[in-house]
């Protein structure tokens, strides 16, 4: 990506979007960020970023933004990204996640030579028949979120078949301190920090045996940039290749917080178990490793430790006398 490149980013105020904006500005890109109407987080965008308001399910508004920004790169990160929320709002999830992708792909004709990278998801594979999953694994989602991302993923494939530079990054779970506590990983690390400081007595979670392939969010943002600058567009799994259970994550977080005796501190509550969920997800990132040279720099224990350290610091800053 050359200095001054024109870049359009959706989902700029989310975890991945915030890290991506930082990397783009380091490269002296000219960045336009699509924000939701009434989004109070717009004020938190870097001063160098140009905000444009458009609802992701408003195709015409997105077309106008693309025509105005005339981007050379489009990073489509914006979505209803919570699996739990997708069960509560399935129609909204489908509208936001698919209409936005179709509109951006359609609008690429007005930004001749533009490259689009969609943040796809491991949830497209659902209860996969093989493990680890590859880019050739059958798409068969089992959640509304997974269905919506599968549709968006396949739209990108269709446009790529018509000659557009349209790629997907099939992102496996990736975390950082910028996750809100509505995500189980941040709920765990914040809870572990509170337990360590005597502010909470246990962690209440859903299915403890669900296994995921967790990585460090800034690493996965680097993968997005690498995919955008690839010689040819394609689908790329972005994953660590290792899976851990929710219980593993909770135990690692408690250890990182200095809590050595974890018996009785991790509780499973049926209220937090999803209506349908995949048992294990683990990705084979051989394609992006071999073709583009990407590999993660932070392992599972490292990402847990960084998140817990952040949450401990938040507690200590709020009460220096503690």
Catalytic (active-site) positions: 121, 123, 145
d(CA 29, CA 33): 12
Neighbours of 289 (CB within 10 A): 15
Alpha helices in 89-182 (DSSP H): 90-94, 100-107, 144-161
| d(C-alpha 28, C-alpha 2), whole Å | 8
Residue 249 in 3-state DSSP? helix
Tokens linked to 39: 């989004």
68: helix, strand or coil: helix
Per the CB < 8 A criterion, the answer to whether 185 and 212 are in contact is no
**Token duo for residue 315:** 């507690």
Cα(66)–Cα(76) distance, rounded to whole angstroms? 12
């Amino acid at each position: 990506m050359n200095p001054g490149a024109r870049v359009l980013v959706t989902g700029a105020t989310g975890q991945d979007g915030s890290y991506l904006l930082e990397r783009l500005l380091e490269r002296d890109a000219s960045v336009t960020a699509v924000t939701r109407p009434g989004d109070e987080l717009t004020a938190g965008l870097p001063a160098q970023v140009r905000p444009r308001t458009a609802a992701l399910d408003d195709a015409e508004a997105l077309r106008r933004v693309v025509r105005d920004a005339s981007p050379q790169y489009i990073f489509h990160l914006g979505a209803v990204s919570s699996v739990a929320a997708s069960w509560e709002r399935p129609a909204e999830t489908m509208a936001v996640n698919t209409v936005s992708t179709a509109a951006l792909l359609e609008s690429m004709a007005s930004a001749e030579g533009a490259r689009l990278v969609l943040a796809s998801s491991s949830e497209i594979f659902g209860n996969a028949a093989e493990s680890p999953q590859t880019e050739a694994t059958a798409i068969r989602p089992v959640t509304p979120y997974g269905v919506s991302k599968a549709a968006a993923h396949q739209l990108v494939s269709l446009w790529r078949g018509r000659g557009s530079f349209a790629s997907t990054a099939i992102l496996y779970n990736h975390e950082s301190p910028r996750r809100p506590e509505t995500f189980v990983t941040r709920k765990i690390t914040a809870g572990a920090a509170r337990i360590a400081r005597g502010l909470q007595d246990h962690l209440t979670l859903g299915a403890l045996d669900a296994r995921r392939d967790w990585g460090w969010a800034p690493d996965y943002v680097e993968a997005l940039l690498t995919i955008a600058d690839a010689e040819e567009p394609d689908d790329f799994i972005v994953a660590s290749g290792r899976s851990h259970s929710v219980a593993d994550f909770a135990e690692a977080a408690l250890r990182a917080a200095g809590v050595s005796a974890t018996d009785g501190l991790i509780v499973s509550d049926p209220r937090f178990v999803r209506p349908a969920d995949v048992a294990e997800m683990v990705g084979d990132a051989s394609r992006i490793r071999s073709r583009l040279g990407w590999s993660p720099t932070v392992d599972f224990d490292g990402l847990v430790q960084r998140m817990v350290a952040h949450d401990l610091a938040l507690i200590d800053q709020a009460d220096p006398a503690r």
